[in-house]
């Protein structure tokens, strides 16, 4: 299989909206409200692409996921990461390939990033396992910061330093 990150093309936006509105994706992100294509385009057109990098993850040139690097702080050399895999590709142990491309990009292509951060819902078992396997370390929790199905859940805060990622390779 060939794994790659590709720039977002105009014709990808409808696919991105469908991915975002997937019930499992909505369940796992902070704001569970579905979005329209118009809302998505308005958000996209207002992004500051200096501080915000987004790519399509492709498997054999087919759209399989969406990866994001945002809040890039060039002074303090850190950023926040996230990624969603399309449902057709989940549960097949493919997410590590998406994340390795993302971390390669962050630590070897972006200028001088020292630390990457992410959050995940406490109930997101595949995500927690994936991030731990990649070398992310839990550094705390946003306690009861997610409200789902009438219950509050923690978000787990995780980080990885460039030196840890190099050690993992």
Ligand X SMILES: CC(C)(COP(=O)(O)OP(=O)(O)OC[C@H]1O[C@@H](n2cnc3c(N)ncnc32)[C@H](O)[C@@H]1OP(=O)(O)O)[C@@H](O)C(=O)NCCC(=O)NCCS
CA distance 11 to 78: 31
Of 8 and 94, the one with the shorter C-beta distance to ligand X is 94
Of 93 and 167, the one with the shorter C-beta distance to ligand X is 93
Q: Least separation, in Å, of the C-beta of 157 and ligand X?
A: 11
Angle at CA of residue 7, ends 67 and 90, nearest 5°: 35
Is 67 in a helix, a strand, or coil? strand
Q: Least separation, in Å, of the C-beta of 37 and ligand X?
A: 20
Of 14 and 96, the one with the shorter C-beta distance to ligand X is 96
CA distance 97 to 109: 17
Residues that bind ligand X (CB under 6 A): 24-25, 28, 83-85, 90-96, 120, 124-127, 129-130, 133
Q: Least separation, in Å, of the C-beta of 67 and ligand X?
A: 10
Of 77 and 128, the one with the shorter C-beta distance to ligand X is 128
Q: Least separation, in Å, of the C-beta of 43 and ligand X?
A: 18
CA distance 27 to 150: 13
8 Å CB contact between 166 and 158: no
């Amino acid at each position: 299989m060939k794994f790659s990150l590709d720039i977002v093309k105009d014709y990808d936006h409808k696919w991105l909206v469908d991915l975002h509105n997937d019930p499992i994706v909505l369940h796992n992100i902070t704001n569970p409200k579905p979005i329209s294509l118009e809302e998505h385009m308005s958000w996209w057109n207002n992004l500051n692409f200096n501080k915000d990098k987004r790519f399509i993850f492709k498997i054999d040139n087919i759209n399989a996921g969406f990866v994001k690097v945002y809040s890039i702080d060039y002074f303090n050399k850190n950023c926040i990461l996230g990624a969603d895999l399309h449902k057709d590709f989940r549960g097949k142990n493919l997410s590590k390939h998406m994340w390795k491309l993302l971390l390669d990009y962050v630590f070897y292509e972006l200028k001088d990033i020292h630390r990457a951060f992410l959050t995940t819902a406490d109930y997101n078992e595949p995500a927690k396992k994936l991030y731990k396997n990649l070398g992310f370390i839990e550094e705390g929790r946003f306690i009861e910061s997610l409200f789902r199905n009438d219950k509050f859940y923690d978000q787990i805060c995780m980080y990885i330093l460039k030196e840890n990622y190099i050690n993992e390779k």
